[in-house]
A and B are shown apart, each in its own frame.
Chain A
Amino acid sequence: MSEGTLYDKVWERHKVADLPNGQDQLFIGLHLVHEVTSPQAFGMLRERDMEVAFPDRTVATTDHIVPTTSEGRSRPLADERAEEMLTHLEQNTADAGIRFFGLDDERQGIAHVVGPELGFVQPGMTVVCGDSHTSTHGAFGAIGMGIGTSQIRDVFATGSIAADKKAVRRVEVGGELGDGVGAKDVILHVIRQLGVDGGVGHVYEYGGEAIRSLDMEGRLAVCNMSIEGGARAGYINPDETTYEYLRGREFAPSGDAFEERKEYWESIRSDADAEYDDVVEVDADDLAPQVTWGTNPEQVVGVDEAVPEPADTRDPEAAASAQAHTEVTPGETMEGHAVDVAFLGTCTNGRVADFREAARVLAGREVDDDVRALAVPGSGTVKRKLEAEGIDEVFEDAGFQWREAGCSMCLAMNDDALEGDEVCASSSNRNYVGRQGSTEGRTHLMSPAMVAAAAVEGAVTDVREFDTPDAVGTEVDE
């Protein structure tokens, strides 16, 4: 049993009661809501004649189904079922008095981008959302957990979930990251080491030199993909990087209140002598940019490393069928593997820093003629900031389509989808068969910089071979 970790402290602070089945009733400090998993829960609430108990702890936005072209966003939406979902969310949030960032609000975007960037998510909170990537918010030293719709109903009705405390695994990532290598590479590498189900029953506490050196965007990308490693939550202890990111955010405390709150944030950090259920070390020194070759997020190699023979993997049968699907050749590297689509965005890599990183690769270059390239900012706030910096022009000049905010081709619930057996270089987090809208489509997960490089070359490429400027655009202070 762990003791003295951030997880233990935040859990204790939020525990409401012991439940008769042995679980804990845990108070939820922030409930993020979106259109796909909430209407059924609001419906269940109505059936029972109950009201949302803590509307002040609830924030809603729309992300999964929204069109990403500006024409496509006029109401009613062309897709009737999408329109119905959006209307339900508007009505449900209005009735319950829940703050909602809708299509007419320039702060609308992916829940896991909006929550952090507006300052709703803070250290020492419990955060849930009907979406598995709620693990993202652990980047602040919060406990973020994805939940199902019946649990959403629980949170609406009681401000709580019934939950078991998990084991805490410290994931110590050592080493220094080279140029062209970042958070996405680190987390893909971690998942490769620990497996897609390695984290089941665990919460990951990420630490070590390679993690400490990341900015908040990088930390968000790492924690985002905890769930791809089977860990429902993953977190990083808050530090000055966290506090500096929060300072001045719209819904974060300000002035004296900020300094006061910081005392709480500091108090929930894992103690120096905290006890973990286990500790694993992952070496990220000299790590190469990572690319997935298969159809789950642990089927990963360094870009300059050979794709393994199925027999050399943890699950040879799965590897063989994955390789048949993606048509990669064991023994060869992923370099030169042709791509048809480049997709940049999502709750993993749809933030300002991600687009800046990709823009450095794209500056003065052009997207390959045969590649369809989509840049989809994670939120309206991200989009406007990049436009203020002139980064949208770098993308458009290179031949990327510059879109409105949403989940887009991450899961293709709108018009943005792979067609047929297209191959996609994607900054998203899942490469399951069919994930991007076509059952024959192929997804290769990689960092934003690698997506940009693949767009330019029309094939997977080692971004370290590109000369890039230190910065592009004019960075505008927030």
Chain B
Amino acid sequence: MSGPAGDDAPDAEGAAVPAIRRVAGTGVPVRGDDIDTDQILPARFLKAVTFDDMGEYAFYDQRRDADGELNDHPLNEYRGANVLAVNENFGCGSSREHAPQGLMRWGVEAIVGESFAEIFQDNCKSLGIATLAVDHEDAVALQDFIEANPDAGIEVDVREETVRYDGTVVEGEVPDAMREALLEGIWDTTAVMRTNLDRAKAVHDDLPYTDD
């Protein structure tokens, strides 16, 4: 898509699937490797037939002390932030889309981290959440910066595959398919693939096992 980079608001008003070129806002650091989706969204909150309430359940257990009172977890302390800063293998474990749904409904629009689990990253793509993989030092430096400057602006540029803050530009990687999908506004794959339904039917008919 051409034209000037807009802000993070959808530039095609009313379109079902906006292009997402950059996410600008403030940051929230959640430290630790191998943070799994059971921690991000505990299983007992999956008992719901919609995702509507998931924002309240993001990191539910970590956000509370033993008496159930809210503690100083980043998701309590950095409300209003939209760029999540994490470390390695974020989102491993269960495939539950409830995890990125919960983060998104809490306010997360982009995640910068060392690496992401695959299913989690796919789920992010389906929801239009950008993930940017950066080096270990850069991830930690970003987390340190956010902690020292909670109100400072952070900007994730999907096209440039960078995160910018305080005059620093860190290069990272958005997976190609996600980058294209976000930039072109084609991250809603249902609509795109539905146009190939006849071809899907042809593949179905041609498979040796589909007449059982």
Contacts and interface: CB of A to CB of B under 8 A. Distances in A.
B181 interface: yes
Interface string B174-191: 011110110010110110
A247 interface: no
A196 B89 contact: yes
Range for the number of chain A residues in contact with chain B: 35 or more
B160 to A, nearest CB: 18
Contacts of B98: 149
Given A39-B50, A57-B204, A148-B95, A162 B210 contact: no
Contacts of A122: 209
Contacts of A147: 95, 119, 122
Interface in A1-45: 13-17, 19-23, 25, 27, 29, 36-37, 39-40, 43-44
Of the listed residues A17, A43, A150, A412, the one surrounded by the most CB atoms of chain B closer than 10 A to its CB is A150
Interface in A141-169: 146-151, 153-154, 157-162, 164
A182 B176 CA distance: 40
Contact of A318 (B34, B47, B192): B34
Contact of A29 (B89, B178, B189, B207): B207
Interface stretch (A123-131, A274-282, A346-354, A467-475): A123-131
Interface residues of B, number: 61
B119 A251 contact: no
A433 B119 CA distance: 20
Sorted nearest first, the 9 A-B pairs with minimum C-beta distance are A150-B126, A148-B97, A21-B180, A148-B123, A39-B49, A132-B95, A146-B95, A149-B97, A81-B47
Contacts of A43: 49-50
B47 A164 contact: no
Interface string B26-41: 0000001110101100
A315 B186 contact: no
A387 interface: no
A437 B93 CA distance: 16
A127 B42 CA distance: 26
B96 interface: yes
Interface in A56-105: 56-57, 64-65, 79, 81-82, 84-85, 88
Interface of A: 13-17, 19-23, 25, 27, 29, 36-37, 39-40, 43-44, 48, 50, 53-54, 56-57, 64-65, 79, 81-82, 84-85, 88, 122, 124-125, 130-132, 134, 146-151, 153-154, 157-162, 164, 196-197, 200-201, 227, 230, 232, 251, 253, 261, 264, 296, 315, 317-318, 411-413, 430, 432-435, 437, 439
Interface in B114-141: 115, 117-119, 122-123, 126-127
B126 A148 contact: yes
Given A16-B203, A54-B204, A160-B193, A85 B47 contact: yes
B167 interface: no
Interface stretch (B5-13, B76-84, B143-151, B194-202): B194-202
B43 A411 contact: yes
A158 B47 contact: no
B204 A150 contact: no
A19 B177 CA distance: 9
B67 interface: no
A162 B184 contact: no
B37 to A, nearest CB: 8
Given A432-B38, A434-B61, A16 B199 contact: yes
Given A132-B95, A230-B117, A430-B38, 13 more contacts: A14-B207, A16-B203, A22-B176, A65-B47, A124-B208, A125-B209, A148-B100, A162-B189, A201-B118, A261-B208, A296-B36, A413-B43, A434-B61
B176 to A, nearest CB: 6
B89 A200 contact: yes
13 contacts: A21-B176, A22-B180, A25-B200, A44-B190, A154-B189, A158-B190, A159-B197, A159-B200, A164-B177, A230-B89, A230-B92, A430-B36, A439-B61
A153 to B, nearest CB: 6
Contacts of B200: 16, 25, 27, 53, 158-160
Nearest to A18: B196
A150 B197 contact: no
Contacts of B43: 411-413, 435, 437
A124 B207 CA distance: 10
B122 A432 contact: no
A36 B117 contact: no
A14 B203 contact: yes
B161 interface: no
Contacts of A157: 190, 193-194
B192 A19 contact: yes
Given A19-B189, A315-B33, A37 B208 contact: no
Of the listed residues B32, B49, B93, B178, the one surrounded by the most CB atoms of chain A closer than 10 A to its CB is B49
